[in-house]
Amino acid sequence: MERTRKNKNRHLEYFERLASKRIKSRKRYAYYWNEITKYFNYFLNDNLSILEVGCGTGETIAKLKGKRKVGIDYSQKMIEQAKTQFPDIDFKVMNAEDIEFGEKFDVIILSILIGFLDDVQAVFKAIKNVSHDSTKIYISYYNYFWEPILNVAEFFGLKRKSPQQNWLSEKDISNLLYLNGFETYRNAKKMLWPVNIPILSFIVNKYFGNLPLINSLTINQYLFARPFPPKEDISKKYSTSVVIPARNESGNIEAAIQRLPKFGKSIEIIFIEGNSTDDTWSKIQETAKKYKSTHNIKIGQQAGKGKGDAVRKGYNMATGDILMILDADLTVPPEDLPKFYDAIASGKGEFINGSRLVYPMEKDAMRTLNILGNKFFSILFSWLLEQPFKDTLCGTKVLFRKDYLQLAENRRFFGEFDPFGDFDLIFGAYKLNLKITELPIRYQERTYGDTNISRFKHGLILLKMCAFAARKLKFI
């Protein structure tokens, strides 16, 4: 305890001395710090409440998006400088291990702070007190690969000399979070070259620094976490809207109703017919009338084209707490939908994506070329989304309606170019910083009709969308 107290005092003395020079130092290395702020802001919006722990002189919290912004630091002189620079932001002198507020925050930021904390676990325990069930923790920290490089930079005066730091790995930080009731759901690596050299730094950091393997050498690492979901009875907690896009699926319409189990508080079924050449629309009308006394069924016809347009129309008609997609070909069994409800209602994820590539498939469920294409996109998406991602094109995707409404508001960021709707939802969920979880399902062979997917034509469209997404997701 005595040693810890002395270390803490040395750190405090260091930051108190640094306070008068901190603003000038931040401006000198603005390129480095601005990149961190820019990356955080990618996932933030103006409706969030944000707490920055270890805010220093306030430059980071001042540039972050948010409607309510609070910065704390244990250095009185740092906070004085912060208040002078940014009088509209709420700054407080507070020890990170003793955080006390009468409110909880949507986002809690710890930016290049972990290395200076004497007891990281105690800080994580403290921030749990100001976290609600949906709070997100954003952490940036140095890659320990850079420790000798930064030591050399300090020796030659290229970097300000700082006290001895903790050099924690991603696993170390994730474990400390876990011990205090948080789970890590995403990590990222950014910035290969931390000094601004016009053009060169831009190219190196934006392109080379985001490439697989090479990005393991970047200086900054990021970790995103959230509280473990509370244990509660979710069996009747949420209502659900199941959107069923249908084009030339007449033989599957009634089966979708008959095979759909009951789950949750209530189920709203929404059929959206899409320019069929068979009698799908009349079959939908007939089925809705037949089952109106036992099921809550809505029907509609899309004016546009493509599954994505149909899903958006269905979601606009939906009133349930949870939104689901069930492809009318029924290759994803309707009987599996309660699994998706349980996963999202219990907090296992905030965006649940079906995965057809885990269990063995029925013989003719998916052609060999389609399987190879899905595996290729799996590798590509795992890189884009910074987490393992097995099946991008499974039709069943599930999210809360409140999150979809935010996704729809942000749709202009990616544009409405996705005719399938899968990428629109996946990329949108990533941009909202939702925890994406895959749920394995058994993919079944069609019993009626033919696929509406053209392997080569639509495969080319998917490649173009991935290239566009890389620019929006990775090369930012």
Per-residue pLDDT reduced to its tens digit, 344-355? 999 999 999 988
CA dihedral 199, 200, 206, 210 (to 10 degrees): 170
Report the pLDDT value the prediction gives residue 168, as an integer from 0 to 100. Answer: 87
CA 115, CA 134: separation in Å to the nearest integer? 26
Q: Which domains does the chain have, with CATH numbers?
A: 2-227 (3.40.50.150), 239-473 (3.90.550.10)
Per-residue confidence at 419, pLDDT binned at 50, 70, 90?
A: low
**How confident is the model over 353-396, as pLDDT tens digits?**
988 765 555 555 555 666 676 677 777 878 888 887 777 777 79
Is 6 a residue whose pLDDT tops 80? no
Is 7 a residue whose pLDDT tops 90? no
Q: Contact, 270 vs 246, CB < 8 A?
A: no
CA 412, CA 402: separation in Å to the nearest integer? 18
- Order of strands across the sheet with 351-355? 296-301, 266-273, 239-246, 322-325, 397-400, 351-355, 436-440
CA 465, CA 414: separation in Å to the nearest integer? 10
Bridge partners, 246 (sequence order): 273
- CA distance readout (Å), 320 to 64, 245, 270, 434: 33, 17, 11, 19
In the numeric block, the tokens 């969308």 are attached to 465
Which among 15, 103, 88, 10 is positioned nearest to 55, based on CA atoms?
A: 15
- Report residue 425: phi and psi, to 5°: -75, -40
Bridge partners, 438 (sequence order): 353
Overall size of the chain counted in residues? 476
Residues 6+ apart with CB under 8 A from 230: 133, 347
CA 185, CA 436: separation in Å to the nearest integer? 8
- Report residue 256: phi and psi, to 5°: -60, -40
Report the pLDDT value the prediction gives residue 18, as an integer from 0 to 100. Answer: 79
Tell me which of 53-57, 161-165, 350-354 is least confident.
Answer: 161-165
- Residue 109 sits at the vertex; the CA angle it makes with 105 and 115, to the nearest 5 degrees, is 140
**Amino acid identity of 194?**
P
**How confident is the model over 150-159, as pLDDT tens digits?**
777 767 666 6
Q: Mean of the per-residue pLDDT values for the chain?
A: 87
